[in-house]
Structure 1
Amino acid sequence: MITRRLLSFLFISYLRIATTTAQECSADDATCSSSSSTPDTTTNQEQCKDTHDNCSFWAKQGECDANPNYMHIFCPISCNTCPEPRQASTLEALLLIEVSKYGKSQKVEGKDAVKTLEVIERTVDYMKNVVFKGGVDLSEDIVVECTNKEELCAFWAAIGECEANPGYMKLKCAPSCQTCDMIDINKRCPPLTDDVVPALLPGGLNAMFERIVATAPGNNTDLEIAPGMTNYSVVIHSRPAPVEGEAVIDQKLDLEQPPWLITFNNFLTDEECEQLIILGHKSEYARSKDVGDLQADGSYDSVVSTSRTSENAWCSYQKKCRSEEVPQMIHERIAMITGIKANHSEDFQILKYEPGQFYRRHHDYIELQADRQCGPRVLTFFLYLNDVEEGGATNFPLLDIAVKPKKGQAVLWPSVLNSDPKAKDYRTDHEAQDVIKGIKFGANAWLHLYDYMAASEMGCT
């Protein structure tokens, strides 16, 4: 229902357009045709078509019901959800023109068209009478940044995504969610309070690795295997010297000793490896990207890098991949082994390296996260999902150690120091060496000092 105030505004806009209509006249026959910019009253409905090659496959896998917000819009033929043609009123068309001033033009189609138009009406009112009239205290940079970044922002807001997926929506669809103030990272992400307990305290990293080695069921045949656990064994490739008596917590001593690096044999079953590869295809592999420039909303852009040529897919919570049985079980297995809760882990980044692809020397620690709500990445748990015919090792050049891919194996290393879990341990630089023959599939689990999932939900990572 369009409010009287907005109706008046749109009517005035309509009159302004109508009275400035240009006339194009022919000198030959003295006839004139209007070139008015008055909008067509037919909705901007593109030809109904699937927009991805995997739509049919996903539909057969039940994704039309499991992930309707994406599938019904981008795979309408496969899901049988092509919208009925509808005729928009002139005022509705003007409303669409007005909302396009605040970002991308918005789509209004299908059974939620009325709800979507209501969101658009509220968006225009919010931007005109709150944001641009100083109803909220915003810097000029934030006002400029507050735009709808996607053409489906209004539709997503209409079906509840501002509440269901706030970390994305409140930043990328801020006008539709009426959250321009949340673009300011200082307001969105206040510092953690002192009562929040980190996953690791100074000295806790070494103690964790000692416990992992001592309790590996494959190394101790008398230990009972816990539910959801495999009969894995641990191989130590690098470690600091064992300490007799009370350990001294000192960064200088830390750097005088080698860092931890261990592998787990039989960490995953064959079925788990195969399922993760399938989920990678389902989540859609795309060119891997690196962290780019800082954005106005406090997030960082992602950039394609010549030093990284692999492809990856995110087994994310939003795509309902993380909550599937196998990923959930593996997250919990990692949590049981490390003693760090599963919500401290990022979603699995499932990787695919074809012959000639690589990731040159880098470090997993991201400096900007050290003081954010998630804290830095403290551990990398890398999973090998298949055997590779040749190449593809994970190489640690400063340690002179290369771990060859082996199906079901995992490798674990720290990104931080035992004496200070917020400080980067530069010695665990590593690279994914070129695959020479075959295809390499793997998965990263990055564990953070604090609750990553809670921070991610609010766009605070």
Structure 2
Amino acid sequence: MARLIRFAPQLGHWLTANLDRGQAPAALVGTMRQQGMDARAAEAVVAAYADARRRGIAPPVDSIELADEAAAAPVARLAPGTRIDGGDREIAVHMRIDDPVCASLGNVLDADECRTLIELARPRLKPSTLVDPATGQDIVSDKRSSWGMFFRLAENEFIARLDRRLSRVMNLPLDNGEGLQVLHYPTGAGSEPHHDYLQPGNAANRESIARSGQRVSTLVTYLNDVPAGGQTLFPALGIATSPLRGNAIYFEYGDDHGAVDARSLHASAAVTQGEKWVVTKWMRNRRFVSA
């Protein structure tokens, strides 16, 4: 079996420029490892560029295939079984995939908690942004037509209670979590396919990975019932989850060494009737330190 290693084209430009300047491949691998990239992946990407330069052929653009050392399924952080202890409530597991790790969860938030999150978030909404892969800066893009805002970690007692519950469900320390993000999708709004992990092809992402490690898992919880549209789509897995209040979709895509899984590609289908509200929790592989 082979694993697809994806990387930003800017990383390829950086490799080409440094190889042209005579930089040793081992030094480039070391720099990429310092920025959080898995050792095997970094070695394979640098080797592919060095080989292309030596043979006078075009290097890969944004991905390579890396043969797996073992075909074993990833070890899930998510607890096994049909029910998960959330600390102050029991979470139901409606569907589970082992490779890659993905699960549909129920009873993550109750109706009052969903309403409270929406009302707290509403006056703080701004047009949602995407990270520009070239600069690492947040930019408004037509690839995402939602509105969003972030709570600080444990901003108040209500948010702190949710942070504790979601961290328990995701089975990582509270301090590894980024602050909750609430997104609002009006009728017609959605997002194009994207990954949640950070691409190390720009300085801002490399600095974030150096501070806090790579993102490794996501929990998206739906805050309202959407009459039509608004599903969370996973093109590589062939699944879609319906936005129902209090339910969530959980997925893992990173290990403790910085390797990521491109099969976590996902999108939000356009809302065709009504509106959609979600709250997202991202986890890092070590303590999150904001810029």
TM-score, with structure 2 as normaliser: 0.68
Residue 291 of structure 1 pairs with residue 131 of structure 2: yes
Return the match for 1:206 from 58, 63, 75: 75
Whether the 8 Å CA contact 2:176–2:283 is kept in 1: the answer is yes
For residue 444 of structure 1, what is the amino acid of its counterpart? T
2:106: which partner in 1?
265
Return the match for 2:196 from 364, 383, 386: 364
Question: 1:385, CA displacement in angstroms?
Answer: 0.5
Whether the 8 Å CA contact 1:398–1:427 is kept in 2: the answer is yes
Whether the 8 Å CA contact 1:362–1:430 is kept in 2: the answer is yes
Residue 312 of structure 1 pairs with residue 148 of structure 2: yes
Residue 378 of structure 1 pairs with residue 237 of structure 2: no
The 1:366/1:302 distance shift into structure 2, 3 A limit, reads same
Whether the 8 Å CA contact 2:81–2:93 is kept in 1: the answer is no
- Where structure 1 has 5 or more consecutive residues not aligned to the other structure, the ranges are 1-189, 193-202, 218-224, 240-257
1:142: which partner in 2?
none
2:162: which partner in 1?
330
1:408: which partner in 2?
246
CA–CA separation in structure 2 for the residues paired with 1:391 and 1:332: 31
CA–CA separation in structure 2 for the residues paired with 1:445 and 1:205: 21
Whether the 8 Å CA contact 1:286–1:313 is kept in 2: the answer is yes
2:261: which partner in 1?
425
Question: 1:312, CA displacement in angstroms?
Answer: 0.5
Q: Deviations over 1:204-239 (max 9, x none)?
A: 962423xx233725xxxxxxx67x522321123422
Question: 1:367, CA displacement in angstroms?
Answer: 1.9
Question: 1:416, CA displacement in angstroms?
Answer: 1.9
1:436: which partner in 2?
272
Structure with a larger share of its residues in strand: 2
Identity within the alignment, %? 27
Residue 451 of structure 1 pairs with residue 258 of structure 2: no
Give the 3-state SS of the residue equivalent to 1:232 in structure 2.
strand
CA–CA separation in structure 1 for the residues paired with 2:109 and 2:250: 14
Residue 351 of structure 1 pairs with residue 167 of structure 2: no
2:228: which partner in 1?
390
Q: Deviations over 1:12-39 (max 9, x none)?
A: xxxxxxxxxxxxxxxxxxxxxxxxxxxx
The 1:207/1:398 distance shift into structure 2, 3 A limit, reads closer
CA–CA separation in structure 1 for the residues paired with 2:253 and 2:175: 18
CA–CA separation in structure 2 for the residues paired with 1:385 and 1:205: 30
Question: 1:288, CA displacement in angstroms?
Answer: 0.6
Question: 1:423, CA displacement in angstroms?
Answer: 1.1
The 1:432/1:401 distance shift into structure 2, 3 A limit, reads same
Residue 340 of structure 1 pairs with residue 207 of structure 2: no
Whether the 8 Å CA contact 1:213–1:234 is kept in 2: the answer is no
Q: Deviations over 1:107-142 (max 9, x none)?
A: xxxxxxxxxxxxxxxxxxxxxxxxxxxxxxxxxxxx
1:149-188 equivalence runs, <5 A: none
Structure exhibiting the larger radius of gyration computed from Cα positions: 1
For residue 83 of structure 2, what is the amino acid of its counterpart? A
The 1:273/1:205 distance shift into structure 2, 3 A limit, reads farther
Residue 234 of structure 1 pairs with residue 234 of structure 2: no
Question: 1:315, CA displacement in angstroms?
Answer: 1.3
Structure with a larger share of its residues in helix: 1
Whether the 8 Å CA contact 1:275–1:326 is kept in 2: the answer is no
The 1:388/1:215 distance shift into structure 2, 3 A limit, reads closer
Return the match for 2:83 from 213, 216, 232: 216
For residue 406 of structure 1, what is the amino acid of its counterpart? L
- Where structure 2 has 5 or more consecutive residues not aligned to the other structure, the ranges are 1-33, 37-71
Aligned residues: 217
| Structure 1 runs of 4+ with >4 Å offset | none
Q: Relative CO higher for 1 or 2, CA cutoff 8 Å, sep ≥ 6? A: 2
CA–CA separation in structure 1 for the residues paired with 2:75 and 2:287: 21
The 1:329/1:215 distance shift into structure 2, 3 A limit, reads farther
For residue 385 of structure 1, what is the amino acid of its counterpart? L
Whether the 8 Å CA contact 1:374–1:448 is kept in 2: the answer is yes
Give the 3-state SS of the residue equivalent to 2:112 in structure 1.
helix
1:78: which partner in 2?
none
CA–CA separation in structure 1 for the residues paired with 2:240 and 2:122: 28
CA–CA separation in structure 2 for the residues paired with 1:205 and 1:316: 31
For residue 258 of structure 2, what is the amino acid of its counterpart? K
TM-score, with structure 1 as normaliser: 0.44
Question: 1:411, CA displacement in angstroms?
Answer: 1.1
Alpha-carbon RMSD across the aligned residues, in angstroms, is 2.4
